[in-house]
Amino acid sequence: MPSILFVCVANSCRSQMAEAMAKSLGRAGWDIWSAGSRPSGQIHPIAAQLVAELGLDLSGHRSKGLADIPRRTWDYVVTMGCGDACPAVPARQRIDWEVPDPVAMPLEEARRVRDQLGASVRALMSRRTGA
């Protein structure tokens, strides 16, 4: 079963959106998680709004730390904006996406970040499945 862990600092916005978008692709058998190097403990309202515009719901999500995820070697660990704070989680492949934090952006810019993130998620999962 292919696995992906999306990591950002707070696990409140970017990594949560990436997790929701990856799960929405409906790829059977994927194990998809997100976590933060310093979790905030909450989902940021802009993340909930941005994915709701895509028909996705973050109400069942929670901000998690690395201690809250399964201990394993992940197929992909995708880091987003955590720089030196990104942890050394066992992975077959590490990918760093330069995704700006949309939290303080005007809504139109935040939507562009969301759409860029969605395209990156689709490309990653398609590369693995060949779909």
Indicate which residues carry an active-site annotation.
8, 82, 86
Rounded to whole angstroms, how far apart are CA atoms 65 and 39? 5
DSSP E strand boundaries for the chain: 3-8, 31-36, 74-80, 91-97
Query: H or E element: which one contains 129?
Result: helix 107-129
